[in-house]
Amino acid sequence: MNPVSVVGGGAWGIALATAAARGGADVLLHTRREGEPIPGVRRTRSLAEAAKHARLVLLTVPSAHVREVGRALGAHLDGHHLLVHGVRGLAAVPSRTPSFEGEDLVTLSTVLREETPVRRFGALGGPVLTGELSRGEPCVMVVASHYTEVLAAVRSAFAGSFMRIYTTPDLVGLEWASALTGILAVAIGFARGAGVGAGLVSAFAIRGVHEAARIAVAAGAEERTFTGLGGFGDLLAAIGEEDRPEVRLGLALARGEEPTSAIAALGERIEALSLAPRVADFAARHGVVAPILDAVAHGLFAQKNAPEIISTLMTAPMTGGA
């Protein structure tokens, strides 16, 4: 049996646990919630038990809880564990760069490095959707890690499931790609809701990914990660998908709803609202021109109307070729 622990009992964590169990893995799910029994998945409320059960631990808590859960979990982990998170988001921390005193954006694996004794981290990403995964439909996921044993362990955990897993060593890139794609997905939903034509939506998507890539390169990512499954692949799934929370948020904003209450109404955690202005600041600080991110941070979330936002974007100075 291939033991796997999943920490976090939200829809995404349950989908991952279900998929791994379907493939024959011995899955222990750490969650405080009661729920429907899942074939092949045991539940626990003890982090110690989750840490003891498996070397590979998948962390699927909301990004705002990564630090707190990481610290608690870290008390039970040691250097032999492989810790892989499937969390979209970045963390704002006080800058450790002497030259800059404000807030810095770091990846969630960086947070876990501070909170746990683990060194071998990984992240999940790519165009896989919760629904597809839990229904057992064919789907594609990306795992990133500097450590080949982490990549191998994730592949092995889902070996028997109907999931194809691509690997990359660009951990920073995949984490930034997942986070920024989440923001871009809101913009896609907004554009669609505002009645923007398919041609222009596609242009925003492409320009948005390029912009996101330029920002992430400043954080140490590889550009090509953004043009692959973890960036563009992830965003394409948002264009055709109604179910994705970020898309639904974008649609709601296009209807003129107020961001905070729109998120509350969705009943899902969406990091884009707080993350977008931080990313826009980050881009400005690193001299990266980012009109689309700016439009999300200071247009969509500031409740400007669609024609105004689109007009700003259409008249923004040209950056780079086609």
Partner 1 sequence: MTAPIFRFNQQRDDLVQTVVERVVAEARDPVLLLNDAAYHELRRLDAAGKDSSRWRKLARSLGGLDHHAARQRLRELADEHAHDVDGNFDPRVYAFASRVLPVGLSILLRPQVLKERGLGDVLRGNALAERIRTSGPIDRIQRLAERGTVVYVPTHLSNLDSPVFAYALESARLPPVTYGAGKNLFTNPVLSFFMRNLGAYRVDRRLRHELYKLVLKAYSCILIERGFHSLFFPGGTRSRSGGVERKLKLGLAGTGLEAFIRTGQRVFFVPATINYMLTLEAETLIDDHLKDAGKARYIIEDDESTRLGRITQLVNQLAHMEGSCAVRFGEPVDPFGNVVDDRGESYDRQGRQVDPRSYVVGDDGQVRQDGNRDGQYTRELGEVAMEQYLCDTVAMTTHVVATAAFARLRAAHGGKDLFALVRRADETIVPRADMLTEIEGVQARLADLDRRGAIQLSTAVRGATASELLGEAERALNGYHASPVLHTQGEGVALLDPKVLLYYQNRLANHGVGWIGGVR
* Contact residues: partner 1, CB under 8 A: 55, 71, 74-75, 78-80, 96-100, 113-117, 119-120, 146-149
Residue type, 226: F
Q: Closer CB to partner 1, residue 35 or residue 102?
A: 102
Q: Closer CB to partner 1, residue 99 or residue 315?
A: 99
Contact 253, 262 (CB under 8 A): yes
Q: Closer CB to partner 1, residue 15 or residue 20?
A: 20
**Backbone torsions φ then ψ of 15, nearest 5 degrees:** -60, -45
Q: Closer CB to partner 1, residue 42 or residue 285?
A: 285
Contact 110, 91 (CB under 8 A): yes
Give dist(CA 177, CA 159) in Å, integer.
25
Token representation of residue 189: 């939903």
**Backbone torsions φ then ψ of 60, nearest 5 degrees:** -130, 35
Instruction: Give the shortest CB-118-to-partner 1 separation in angstroms.
Output: 9
**DSSP helix/strand/coil, 287:** coil
Q: Closer CB to partner 1, residue 34 or residue 101?
A: 101
Instruction: Give the shortest CB-96-to-partner 1 separation in angstroms.
Output: 7
Handedness of CA 175, 42, 114, 170 (dihedral sign): negative
Residue identified by tokens 């563009």 is: 232
Residue identified by tokens 């998120």 is: 263
Residue identified by tokens 């692959």 is: 228
Token representation of residue 131: 């629904």
Q: Counting runs of H as helices and runs of E as strands, what totals does the chain give?
A: 15, 10
Give dist(CA 178, CA 231) in Å, integer.
7
Closest CA to 7 of 62, 89, 64: 62
Instruction: Give the shortest CB-54-to-partner 1 separation in angstroms.
Output: 11
Q: Closer CB to partner 1, residue 110 or residue 134?
A: 110
Q: Closer CB to partner 1, residue 152 or residue 316?
A: 152
Instruction: Give the shortest CB-148-to-partner 1 separation in angstroms.
Output: 5
